[in-house]
Copies of this chain bind each other. A is one copy, B any other.
Amino acid sequence: KMVSVAINGYGTIGKRVADAVAAQKDMKIVGVSKTKPDFEARMALKKGYDLYISIPEREKLFQEAGIEISGTVEDMIEEADIIVDATPEGIGAKNLKMYREKGVKAIFQGGEKHEDIGLSFNSFTNYEDSLGADYTRVVSCNTTGLCRTLKPIDDLAGIKKVRAVMVRRAADPPQVKKGPVNAIVPNPPTVPSHHGPDLRTVMYGININTVALLVPTTLMHQHNIMVELEDPVDIEEIKEELDKTSRVMLVKAGEGLASTAEIMEYARELGRPRNDLYEIPVWEESLNIVDGELYYMQAVHQEADAVPESVDAIRALLELEEDNKRSIEKTNKAMGIL
């Protein structure tokens, strides 16, 4: 029997979670919500998703555009065992009240604050803490990216302290109104940034300081990571560990993957839907240990990396799977993740 999932906020993240859920054997999509009758709304229908509207007064706009709707978000919630909320930053926390009233479980995205939701989630670091919970928050694309590689490194060699500089894409590819066109922007200009504390909501007690900035690119974030290790370890062991870690991949600059653009090209060659790269690519050449400190560079496809985590979070909240590894395996298989 399949559980019924509704997506509130069918945007960059929402539309990906919808397709990822639809690909699972134990889940199905009962509806997605849109605020505007744009091309994404048309495509949702074409894919067979029932469309609900979050702003009832706009019903007429959808009618005029010839886009069929099945009701309001409130109607959609009635159909669902669980909601994946992928509305813009801050809206999710407001929606929480509605979900609570309706008595429906919900998963939130990284734009929400941990304190507003009360619990945060990563498939590898704290899956079990969300088992059976009513609400949880999948941490942001950047924080998910940090978890993916720091967890296996911590397991292997113990982490004393992490420093990370996160060079972030300024806008997602279709966000044409956001800049900058030609500048580097410390963001935030204060150090350390909020990404360290965010990581601690799912990787408890880790000692990390982060610095973040924006640069004029749309494709991927890039992370520069320095890890003081507890135990002596060989760089080859680290490589092996990362190589066999799920949702992480080693890439070689020397094989034509020397930039975020070429890595995105690789995702296109892999035939991924929307050229999505769910895995965190780590540049093999960058991995190095100097004086007991591990250095490496990785990239994060911000539109995609946390999507499989949203699927796993559904299994955790609905207790479809006790063991995180089993959920990860199911999700990966259904999504074609390496």
**Contact indicator A288/B180 (Cβ below 8 Å):** no
Q: Main secondary structure on chain A at its contact with chain B? A: mixed
Indicate whether A43 reaches chain B with its CB closer than 8 angstroms: yes
Query: Within residues 190 to 211 of chain A, which ones have a CB less than 8 A from any CB in chain B?
Result: 190-192, 209, 211
**Contact indicator B180/A167 (Cβ below 8 Å):** no
In the docked arrangement, what's the CA distance between A221 and B163, Å? 20
**Max chain B CB contacts within 10 Å: which of A37, A181, A211?**
A181
Indicate whether A253 reaches chain B with its CB closer than 8 angstroms: yes
**Contact indicator B181/A259 (Cβ below 8 Å):** no
Which residues on B sit within 8 Å (CB–CB) of A38?
A: 255-256
**Contact A163 to B256, CB < 8 A, known contacts A191-B286, A216-B181:** no
Which residues on B sit within 8 Å (CB–CB) of A265?
A: 173-174
In the docked arrangement, what's the CA distance between A183 and B290, Å? 28
Indicate whether A90 reaches chain B with its CB closer than 8 angstroms: no
Query: Within residues 150 to 182 of chain A, which ones have a CB less than 8 A from any CB in chain B?
Result: 163, 165, 167, 169-171, 173-182
**Contact indicator B224/A183 (Cβ below 8 Å):** no
**Contact indicator B176/A262 (Cβ below 8 Å):** yes
Which residues on B sit within 8 Å (CB–CB) of A216?
A: 181-182, 215-217
Report how many copies the assembly holds. Answer: 4
Indicate whether A30 reaches chain B with its CB closer than 8 angstroms: no
Indicate whether A6 reaches chain B with its CB closer than 8 angstroms: no
Indicate whether A140 reaches chain B with its CB closer than 8 angstroms: no
**Contact indicator B255/A39 (Cβ below 8 Å):** yes
Indicate whether A91 reaches chain B with its CB closer than 8 angstroms: no
Indicate whether A69 reaches chain B with its CB closer than 8 angstroms: no
**Residue in B closest to A274 when the chains form the complex, CB atoms:** B268
In the docked arrangement, what's the CA distance between A255 and B192, Å? 20
Would you give the shortest CB distance from A338 to chain B, in whole angstroms? Answer: 12
Indicate whether A119 reaches chain B with its CB closer than 8 angstroms: no
**Contact indicator B43/A285 (Cβ below 8 Å):** no
In the docked arrangement, what's the CA distance between A252 and B67, Å? 15
Indicate whether A264 reaches chain B with its CB closer than 8 angstroms: yes
Q: Which of A78-86, A109-117, A292-300 binds B?
A: A292-300
Indicate whether A258 reaches chain B with its CB closer than 8 angstroms: yes
Indicate whether A55 reaches chain B with its CB closer than 8 angstroms: no
Besides A176-B259, A186-B259, A190-B285, 14 more A-B contacts (Cβ < 8 Å) are A39-B262, A43-B269, A167-B215, A176-B179, A176-B185, A181-B216, A184-B219, A186-B253, A186-B286, A191-B286, A209-B293, A213-B224, A215-B216, A274-B275
A-B contact pairs, 25 of them (CB 8 A): A36-B256, A39-B266, A39-B269, A40-B269, A65-B255, A167-B167, A167-B213, A170-B179, A176-B179, A176-B181, A178-B179, A181-B181, A182-B216, A183-B262, A184-B215, A184-B220, A184-B222, A185-B260, A189-B283, A192-B295, A209-B295, A211-B224, A211-B226, A213-B222, A215-B217
